[in-house]
Structure 1
């Protein structure tokens, strides 16, 4: 494929907007923006400052999020976040994504799998959402998958205290993307680009996640 053709491949933006109204886990720091400088006769620029939990919007969890002493997001290899990806639909699958929800699209899986659980991604905090069953995470790793993602707030249920699926990610050295928006994305294979920021010591990073047609 020529460079010119590559430049015209369709792009799906699979990141939600980040705003003060973004749904967040209870206790997370919401997004807020303030102006530290504004254009005026004695000021040549507008300058803003932001505060937010790195788990607001589409984001990549680091192992540090669920294990003391594990890698922070700034230390992670970027390779899992860039490359061939399969989107699999498990819409309205219930509280947990089980292996049988994915098997219809599991032949020759690429190293990245995103699961669409929602007809439409929620724009408000809803404590009931689809998450991964731990055995599904393990099964995907057995298929050679190195990154998983979904269009809900977490790979574990909101009520979980043991975070079994996060612990599977840790044990299997998998990476994860959460809070994606897959509303307009058909099942199939794409190129994923969802690079986390190099945030020193942080437990997660926002990403501007996109899919691109091959």
Structure 2
């Protein structure tokens, strides 16, 4: 019989999405109702959902932070698929500074995900979330990074009105993933798969973000 290689290990880094899932204050929460139900004369269940595209793990489009920016359905998928590095900056405080991640930057792949929580609060809004310092994103862009991710709801502080890190992303042409769950992911290199939906007019898209191990043949 031919030798069967074991399947690569997969980490699901997406938080659960359901009614009550936390959203940015004022944003549209997830809601679901049944438009059709299995019964006499109806062979299927069909639901209707209402949600912000920023619920759960999601990819921001340039349109989110640039009035003339591209929608999420028109951006390249390349940054959302490929080798990435998970870096721990647990309990780093309000901002991820360069000193929090510089221990893990040798031979950096073009995607970087930073873990800041010991346990990501999937069931509540955290107004004290950690964010990226704009200078950190600038320096990552200088190293060729195409995408940055974080296990909080935003790469900017929750109360920011200027969105300085988002503006670095805009100016440098990077992509961003937010609301990832990295609790069970060790520092190291993985394959990222986190494709946004082809929402042709939207400012963001939910993603089912996963990591797949690289060390398999």
Alignment TM-score > 0.5, same fold:
yes
Structure 1 portions without partners, runs of 5+: none
Q: 1:161 is matched with which residue? A: 161
Provide Cα deviations, 1:24-45, integer angstroms capped at 9, x if missing partner.
Answer: 1011100001100000110010
Deviation at 1:195, TM superposition (A): 0.1
Q: Deviations over 1:150-171 (max 9, x none)?
A: 1000000011000000000000
Alpha-carbon separation, structure 1, partners of 2:21 and 2:180: 13
| TM-score, normalised with respect to structure 2 | 0.96
The match for 1:174 is 174
Partners of 1:168 and 1:189 in 2: how far apart?
A: 25
- Equivalent-residue separation in structure 2 for 1:38 and 1:119 (angstroms): 41
CA distance in 1, matches of 2:204, 2:88: 26
- Give 1:4 deviation, angstroms: 5.2
Query: What is the SS of the residue equivalent to 1:102?
Result: helix
> Normalising by structure 1, what TM-score?
0.97
Which string of whole-angstrom CA distances, capped at 9 and with x for unpartnered residues, describes residues 41-60 of structure 1?
Answer: 10010000100000000000
SS at match of 2:90: coil
Q: Counterpart in 2 of 1:186?
A: 186
1:98 is matched with 97
Q: Distance in 2 between matches of 1:112 and 1:32?
A: 32
Rounded to whole Å, the distance in 1 between the matches of 2:14 and 2:43 is: 32
1: CA distance, partners of 2:46 / 2:66: 36
Aligned pairs for 1:77-156 (under 5 A) are 77-122=76-121, 123-156=123-156
1:200 Cα deviation (Å)?
1.2
